[in-house]
Amino acid sequence: MGRVWQIAPGGTTKVVAENLNAPSAIALATDGTLVVADTGSHTIKRIELQSGRVTIIAGTENRAGFTDGSGMAALLNAPVGMAVSPDGTIFIADTYNDRIRAIDAQGMVRTIAGGDEPGYRDAAKGAEARFDTPCGVAIDLDGTLLVADTGNHRLRRVQMDGATTTIAGTGAQGVLDGTPQTASFNEPTGIAIESDGTVYVTDAGGSAVRVCYLGFWPEVSTLAGYANAGLADGTLDRARLSRPSGVAVSSDGKLLIADSGNRLVRAVLREGNAQGAELTRENIEALRLKASDFRAQAEPRWPYDPPEKTREVAATFGEIRGEINEGEDAWFHNGLDVPGAYGETARIVRSEKILRPLGVEGVGGARERIRFPTLGYVHLRVGRDQDDGVFDDDRFILRRDDNGKVIGVRVRRGAQFKAGEAVGTLNNQNHVHLIAGRTGSEFNALAALELPGVKDTVAPIIEKDGVRLFDRDGKEFGAPLSSKNSRQEKSADEPMVVGKPITVRGDVRITVRAYDQMDGNAARRRLGL
């Protein structure tokens, strides 16, 4: 159930509308009503703030499509972005139609720019321009539109006659500052413009807020956040976000951010203008979803059919994956690997709704995946069988090249899945990598899911000479005399002897080679602790 909330300057809140379906952008209209892009219902709606009455401005409830025309005769396709001009015109990022559209004061819907398929093309004629899942739209000071072209990882400018140009972003997916021609974005989603022309962009995939200066010395820089999702208040260089979506500039100059992954509204404040409260470690822990709560909400089942049939577990949360080369960070496994047969159907283990505009990634690769708010499935053919045939399910929208190869899969923001429904089939990795928890705060799926028949009475095994102690410089304490590891410099301490203590001093790093097993697993399975 989607709601729209009103948050007063002092932090008090109230619900002004409910029973919406994945509402996204909101904006005040010139008559004092609130306009909302109700993405999941494929409509633009108006909310009367005093009464809470909700009416449809454009689109047909729960019917996706593309048609220009009057009000409810027009069809939209899960619009996410929206802005209202001073003359009352409503501009729409019609996200899954890959078009920019407008609703005039009489309720007539027309298309300004974009075409029948996602793509990337600047053009003098609006019908020839191409977008890929545009999610944000704002009205610039000169009356043109700025568009967060999410799937293309670019910012675009659209004139009222439809002429479209790129103003920032190379198309490479990443968080790279620089000139507009060299900077990169990672799923730019929301966009807001300050009175001096400064442009703010929420980079959802990069968990960052970017700032664009488009004047005499154009530049794109990162205002707050970093490439890795997190949660921290404080100075801009220390603050962390998780998939921010909406952004707005308040009348008193605050930058307001919808920090979607953390389910918070955040503010960037000038020094001495503090409002709200800085989050403490205790606050952050209280906000996190707990594995025990997650488990209580899930019905007992495995991600395959029959749901009660016990499966092997091939890898667990927190394992080190692959070799770590010098200067590289460790890659920790963030999910549970559950083996299955090639082409076997993977099913969602609890009811969830897709909220990411780009919920499917890596199509055609070994790590093709779909991400729900608190679940992730990796190593699938999303929405299709082992022969790349699409499921009989209109929630999955496939795009193929001229040779029939699948090159894209869409699942619209707002699509609802019930526990047990199919999300895809296993690719050549022959297992599903099942993630439990929100992005940036995942937890052990064994603790979070009710998996029938799971049993572990096997004690962990520490391998021979599996415990080693090192000082801060990498020298090993009590290195065995027989050690042939030439990369380790032997310390001057006595060699390690079983049963005899060794002397350590200063900072000590402990490394352990150990593994665990579970009842019913093949003997070759070695799981992380």
pLDDT tens by residue, the chain, 529 residues: 799 999 988 888 999 999 999 999 999 999 999 999 999 999 999 999 989 999 999 999 999 999 999 999 999 999 999 999 999 999 999 999 999 999 999 999 999 999 999 999 999 999 999 999 999 999 999 999 999 999 999 999 999 999 999 999 999 999 999 999 999 999 999 999 999 999 999 999 999 999 999 888 999 999 998 768 888 888 888 889 999 999 999 988 889 999 999 999 999 987 655 556 677 778 878 878 888 888 888 889 999 999 999 999 999 998 877 777 888 888 888 999 999 999 999 999 999 999 999 999 999 999 999 999 999 999 999 999 999 999 999 999 999 999 999 999 999 999 999 999 999 999 999 999 999 999 988 989 999 999 999 998 999 999 888 888 999 888 888 765 444 444 444 444 556 666 778 888 899 999 888 889 888 888 888 888 7
Same domain as 428, residue 338: yes
Helix residue ranges, H only, 34-130: none
What residues does 210 pair with on adjacent strands? 201, 222
Domain shared by 322 and 363, yes or no: yes
Phi, psi dihedrals of residue 523, rounded to the nearest 5°: -60, -25
Total domains, the chain: 4
- Cα gap 515→329, rounded to integer Å: 21
Does residue 425 lie within any of the structural domains?
yes
Residue 174 lies in a domain: no
Are 325 and 372 found together in one domain? yes
Within-domain flag for 173: no
CATH number of the domain that residue 223 is part of:
2.40.10.500
DSSP classification of residue 230: -
For residues 421 and 330, membership in a common domain is answered with yes
- The contacts of residue 344 (CB under 8 Å, 6+ apart) are 304, 425, 426
433 & 505 share domain: no
Residue 426 forms part of a structural domain = yes
Q: In the structure encoding, which two tokens stand for residue 505, read together?
A: 């001093």
pLDDT of the residue at 175: 95
Closest CA to 183 of 219, 230, 147: 219
Using the 3D structure, point to which of 287, 312, 328 is the last residue of a domain: 287
pTM tops 0.75: yes
Q: Are 226 and 5 a contacting pair, CB within 8 Å?
A: no
**Domain shared by 103 and 243, yes or no:** no
Q: What is the pLDDT of residue 481?
A: 45
pLDDT at 487: 43
Tokens of 344: 């076997």
DSSP secondary structure letter of residue 71: G
Whether residue 116 is found in the same domain as residue 42: yes
Domain span holding position 388: 292-447
Q: What is the pLDDT of residue 178?
A: 97
* CATH number for 307: 2.70.70.10
**Same structural domain for residues 137 and 16?**
yes
- Burial 266-297, CB ≥16 within 10 A → b, else e: bebeeeeeeeeeebeeeeeeeeebebeebbee
Which of 239, 263, 287 terminates a domain? The answer is 287
The answer to whether residue 453 is domain-embedded is no
Is the Cα dihedral 489, 495, 499, 504 positive or negative? negative
282 and 334 in one domain?
no
Q: Are 434 and 43 within 8 A, CB to CB?
A: no
Claim to verify: residue 438 and residue 509 sit in the same structural domain: no
Question: Does residue 443 share a domain with residue 309?
Answer: yes
Residue 177 lies in a domain: no
Both 259 and 203 in a single domain?
yes
Q: Is residue 176 part of a domain?
A: no
